[in-house]
Amino acid sequence: MQSPKPLAITMGDPAGIAGEITLMAWRARREKNLPPFFLLDDPARIERLAQDVGLDAPVRLVQSAAEAASAFPRALPVLPVALPAPVKLGEPNAKNAPAVIAAIDKAVALMRRGEAAAVVTNPIHKHSLYAAGFKAPGHTEYLAQLAGPGVRPVMMLACPTLRVVPVTVHVPLRDAVAKLNTDDIVASGEITARALAQDFGIARPRLAVAGINPHAGEDGSIGDEERRIIAPAVERLRRAGIAVTGPLPPDGMFHDEARTRYDAAICMYHDQALIPLKALGFWDGINVTLGLPFVRTSPDHGTAFELAGRGMARPESLIAAIAAAAEFARRRGIDGESTVAHRSVA
């Protein structure tokens, strides 16, 4: 009987909490019924980290994804990625940025060769990467570059009770309003609807589209973006056969009853999406990149340098990201023989 392909977990910033939450996730593998996974990092560093934070988690150096799958029940498999500089927890070092990027590149390459089922990325520190010459705005855009031309990535944040997609992402609020346009809203809605069907198993996805002004503009009396930009996008999505409502007043979209009426909310800017998501699912929310030809998930939090090495990090978001990635891979038929029961976002 064929074993499931393991998931590739990237190192993230080595000065943050990524290593210890990955160790914690491995320790929770039986309780959470997690699939096999391996970490791309420095095995000696991870072994020392386990000892320093008091985690009973053996580490196994492996040279392939197949070897990782067989080692997983007894130890956390670590596929080696050399770090150019010593790691001091809590203090990011741009000299290690090439290793952070190499771990992402290697994880995607293994997955695209069919050796790993999916990629789960640990949090990166963008400033350190930029200092080392990293050109992409972030993880999402870099993964789209690795995927090849013509790929349009869409960021979704998901927790057990809500899924949100921001149309504009990491830009100042004044620029988000200026950049907002009908075509981007339509593209985000179409990609989201396809992903809800393919990865989340929702046969007839329902989208709710938020307005951008208070009370969704009140018929143009508090801004006209709803009339000019958002309503035409909603109509185009409707004509494309997607079940969609909006533009909706953002302050009334996220209470318990409202959330029963849609499967994902298309939001106009970053905080409009992430504030309700993190209020409802701060510990077990995840980030999912839609629109890629491969599966990528990640925790919905950052590097947490202030917690690194103190034994205070919580692994719930990484665990949820691992479970979701395994389920998405299963639905796409690329995981081998997976029996993971996904509970977090499907």
Q: Is the pTM of this model over 0.75?
A: yes
pLDDT of residue 342: 38
200-225: average pLDDT: 94
Whether 270 contacts 276, CB under 8 Å: no
Angle at 197 between CA 192 and CA 321, to 5 degrees: 70
Q: State both tokens at 164.
A: 């949100």
- Residue carrying the six token digits 């029996």: 339
3-class secondary-structure state, position 104: helix
Amino acid letter for position 21: I
Among 101-105, 130-134, 190-194, which stretch is predicted with the lowest mean pLDDT? 130-134
Q: With 90 as the cut, is the pLDDT of residue 340 above it?
A: no
C-alpha 343: how far from its chain's center? 16
Going by pLDDT thresholds of 50, 70 and 90, the confidence category of residue 2 is low
Of the candidates 106, 58, 115, the one whose C-alpha atom is nearest the C-alpha of residue 82 is: 106
191-216: average pLDDT: 97
Structural domains of the chain, ranges and CATH numbers in brackets: 1-153+284-346 (3.40.718.10), 161-283 (3.40.718.10)
Q: How far apart are CA 230 and CA 217, in angstroms?
A: 11
Helix (H) or strand (E) holding 215: none
Number of other residues whose CB lies within 10 A of the CB of residue 240: 12
235-254: average pLDDT: 97
Going by pLDDT thresholds of 50, 70 and 90, the confidence category of residue 3 is low
Question: How big is the chain, counted in residues?
Answer: 346
Amino acid letter for position 139: H
Q: Please give the mean pLDDT across all residues of the chain.
A: 93
Task: Report residue 155: phi and psi, to 5°.
Answer: -90, 125
| Residue 305 DSSP symbol | G
Could you give the C-alpha distances from 199 to 141, 149, 191, 232, in angstroms and in order?
Answer: 20, 22, 12, 27
